[in-house]
Structure 1
Amino acid sequence: MIPSREEMRRELDRRHGKVLQDRFADASVAICGLGGLGSNVATALARAGVGHLHLIDFDRVDISNLNRQQYMAHQPGVFKTEALKENLLMIAPYVKVTVDTVRITEENIRRLLRNDDIICEAFDVAEAKAMLANFILENMPEKYLVSGSGMAGILSSNTIRTRKVTEKFYLCGDEISDADKGDGLFSSRVMICAAHQANMIMRIIAGKYDV
């Protein structure tokens, strides 16, 4: 039997404190890219009781994603937005999940992200990362942006960190490793970087802006 909304909220209040949980429940986070980073960030935020998750991706689940992304073996071929929404609602049935199955471009960023408090950048492609970050910093400076860069290979966990770049821009990762240079992507290290992003997002919601 699925716990009621009230039962789940009571337990989150007990674990996190009611004041902080109220802030989580009122927050809206956009997750741009639902691969290894984005799917793990979304899962962590759903478990924490963040009230609204906005999932944005144009891609479908592929069997090659299953080694590090939060999808199931029956989901290849399904749009990542729909597959992740299904999985999140099994974890946190009362979270509000909005999906946009589109590729983010400079033409639609403002419309897509206008109602979200915090933007999580979780793209795979460097050019897409730069495009989103530059647009947000230049055109939507009121938004908080938490980005990921560098989590490939089996390097030390301690090389992944969170760095505050500007007042509202945070970068998580080792900022060096690159899967395109022969280093594989492994679930453990990708999840460490995603956890940095999710934790920074929760700190921002809590009003804690240092790293």
Structure 2
Amino acid sequence: MRIAIAGAGGIGSNVAVNLVRSGVASLRLVDFDRVEAGNLNRQFYFHDQIGQLKVEALAANLRRIRPDIDIETAAIRLDKGNCLSLLGDCPLVVEGLDRAGAKKMLLETLTGSVRAVVAACGIAGSDTTGIRVRRLGTCHIVGDFVSDCAGQPLFAHKVAAVACRMTEIILHEGKFHAQR
């Protein structure tokens, strides 16, 4: 079963590495952005990858963990016109987009088309005590639901904590079992 990851930043890259290390063998990565120096404190990239497309750099990093992984990449910005065609054939979708409008578009477009979407809301700041999960139909939203990166910095431990909860939901929804 192929899992789609929309956005290869802090959430998307960390969920991807968690899934691969948990035995998931097939991913589709969708993001238009490039690795920047400011990403390195919380995203699964390295200094020598600055300037590379995130989907290509992430695919290379994931193949270092599991060389036989099946990864499709799409270096494109998701919009209402391409969202369903890029993600709709994957039963499980991870939302790791930066902008609220893009998140809303993805959720509205995929509702009823996929088994589950796991999204993030409220990942800024350093306090992890408020992280929780809300379920709205087939959508699971993870975060503190209040913190905004416009007003607070992003810290690796909180981004990773949210990504770990999102990974747990994807593994449960896909009924994956750890590989030995």
TM-score range, shorter-chain basis? over 0.9
CA contact (8 A) 2:55 2:73 kept: yes
Q: 1:144 aligns with which of 101, 105, 116?
A: 116
Partner of 2:144: 174
Structure 2 unmatched runs, 5+ = none
CA contact (8 A) 1:49 1:95 kept: no
CA contact (8 A) 1:39 1:84 kept: yes
Deviations 1:82-134, CA, capped at 9 Å, x for gaps? 00000000011111110000001111112111321101101111111111111
Q: 1:160 aligns with which of 131, 139, 150?
A: 131
Name whichever structure is richer in helix by fraction: 1
Which amino acid in 1 is paired with 2:140?
Y
Tell me if 1:205 matches 2:170.
no
TM-score by length of 1: 0.81
Considering only aligned residues, what root-mean-square deviation do their CA atoms show, in Å? 1.2
Q: Distance in 2 between matches of 1:162 and 1:97?
A: 28
Partner of 1:43: 17
Q: Distance in 2 between matches of 1:52 and 1:35?
A: 19
Compare relative contact order (CA 8 Å, sep 6+) and give the higher one, 1 or 2.
2
Residue 200 of structure 1 deviates from its aligned partner by 0.4
SS of 1:158 mapped into structure 2: coil
Question: Segments of 4+ in structure 1 off by > 2 A?
Answer: 140-143
SS of 1:184 mapped into structure 2: coil
Q: 1:187 aligns with which of 156, 166, 170?
A: 156
Which one has a bigger Cα radius of gyration?
Answer: 1
Deviations 1:161-202, CA, capped at 9 Å, x for gaps? 122121x11000011100112x10000000000111111000
Q: 1:63-102 alignment to 2 at 5 Å?
A: 63-102=37-76
Which amino acid in 2 is paired with 1:203?
H
Structure 1 unmatched runs, 5+ = 1-26
Q: In the comparison of the two structures, how many residue pairs are matched?
A: 176
SS of 2:15 mapped into structure 1: helix
Q: Distance in 2 between matches of 1:103 and 1:142?
A: 20
Partner of 1:6: none
TM-score by length of 2: 0.94
CA contact (8 A) 1:136 1:143 kept: no
CA contact (8 A) 1:163 1:171 kept: yes
Which amino acid in 1 is paired with 2:160?
M
Which amino acid in 2 is paired with 1:175?
F
